Structure formats: structure tokens, C-alpha cells
Amino acid sequence: MIANPQPQKMSIEQYLDWEPLQDYRYEYVNGEVFAMTGGTILHNDIALNIYRALYPHLRARGCRINVADVKVQVNLNSPYYYPDVVVSCDSRDLNARKFIQYPKIIVEVLSPGTEAKDRGEKFAFYRNMPSLQEYILVESEKISVEFYRRGEGRMWLYSPYTIGEDIIIESVDFSCGIDLIYEGVSFDI
């Protein structure tokens, strides 16, 4: 398939029409599109482990969980991002075809090339989404998981987890050992 050239600026409507015709995924922020970088095998394994752990629990609750290739519409004007894992329990998202609008949980697996954007720009936009209850950052080069949970008003509560601990996803009443998230992942070179 021959991809259309990447325009410099485009409207949301142009982006939503243009992007499905491309060979690569593109995030959209304020009229500009950004090609998604390829992830590592470890990055993929961690995201899939999270999916496998959560899927049976969420299915019983009427929620949907998606990995990697599903974009989130942060608001009506911009941006559109592709988180590594997204969970929505909102009935308006259960039959979504193009993007998720009401995520409850967003997970980003961190890599050296994406960590600053995931911690900064993306979280700044995500935390303004009323439906979002938990933003989870998972290290891909060591065992470490960080949670940001919505608190009162504009407050977000921070909870770090490391080796030997159980992680707790409060918004969907789920817990598991952190070792399940890193199952089959070796940090040795």
C-alpha cells in the first residue's frame, strides 16, 4: 500500500480520514501528526502481561481493554494518543470503532525514548479527562510500576510499586503481584 504524504497541519476530520490509510500509526496534537515509534519485545511483553492479567477480571464487569493499536480521543479538539493499554467501563465506549473517549485506566509502558512525553505532555492532557481514574506508568528496563490515582478535586495521588509487592488498581477492584506484570521478562542482555 502506498501511503499518502504526511501533511504539515490538518484538522481533526482530516486526521481521522487520513490516518487509517497509513502504514504506521500517528498521534495527533493540535493540528500536527506524529509517527509512533516501534516498541521493543520487552515493551510488548509487559503490555500483553497487563492485558492478560486484567482481561478476565474486566470482562466480568462489562469493561473493555485494548492494547497498543487503539487511540484515545482526549477531548473534542485535540489530542489523540495511542496508549499501551486502555480500559473503559463506559457504555458509550463498549462498541467504539475509531477511538476510546471515556477511559477509566490508561497504562503507558515507559522506554527511554517515550518516558518524558508519557510523564509530561500526555499526563498533562490525560488528567483533564473526567473519566480517567488511574494513570499507570510501567518501566520496561527495571521492575517498577507507578500509579497516579484521581483524588479530591484536582489532586492526583501517587503510589510506587516494586519487586515483591502487589499492585492495586482501585478503580476496578483488582490486585496482582508485580511479578505477573513482568512474567517472562528478562532484563539480562
User: Among 186, 157, 187, 159, which Cα is nearest to 175's?
Assistant: 159
Confidence of residue 3 (pLDDT cuts 50, 70, 90): very low
Give pLDDT tens digits for 155-173. 999 999 999 999 999 999 9
What DSSP state is assigned to residue 117? H
Amino acid 24: pLDDT:
85
For residue 4, how many other CB atoms are within 10 A of its CB? 10
Phi, psi dihedral angles at 19 (to 5 degrees): -60, -40
Provide the residue type at 151 as one letter: G
Spatial separation of the C-alpha atoms in residues 12 and 15, rounded to whole Å: 5
Give pLDDT tens digits for 47-89. 999 999 999 999 999 999 999 889 999 988 889 999 999 999 9
Asked if residue 1 has pLDDT above 50, the reply is no
Cell of 4: 499518502
Asked if residue 93 has pLDDT above 80, the reply is yes
Per-chain mean pLDDT for the chain: 91
Cell of 106: 490508561
Amino acid 8: pLDDT:
72
Asked if residue 147 has pLDDT above 80, the reply is yes
Asked if residue 113 has pLDDT above 90, the reply is no
Cell of 105: 485506566
Mean pLDDT of 13-29: 89
Asked if residue 189 has pLDDT above 90, the reply is no
Amino acid 7: pLDDT:
60
Return the SS3 of 9. coil
Amino acid 37: pLDDT:
73
Asked if residue 145 has pLDDT above 90, the reply is yes
Spatial separation of the C-alpha atoms in residues 57 and 119, rounded to whole Å: 27
Amino acid 44: pLDDT:
93
Count each helix (H run) and each strand (E run) in the chain, helices first. Answer: 5, 13
Amino acid 48: pLDDT:
96
Asked if residue 39 has pLDDT above 80, the reply is no
Confidence of residue 23 (pLDDT cuts 50, 70, 90): confident
User: Among 80, 161, 158, 168, which Cα is nearest to 119's?
Assistant: 158
Mean pLDDT of 11-21: 90
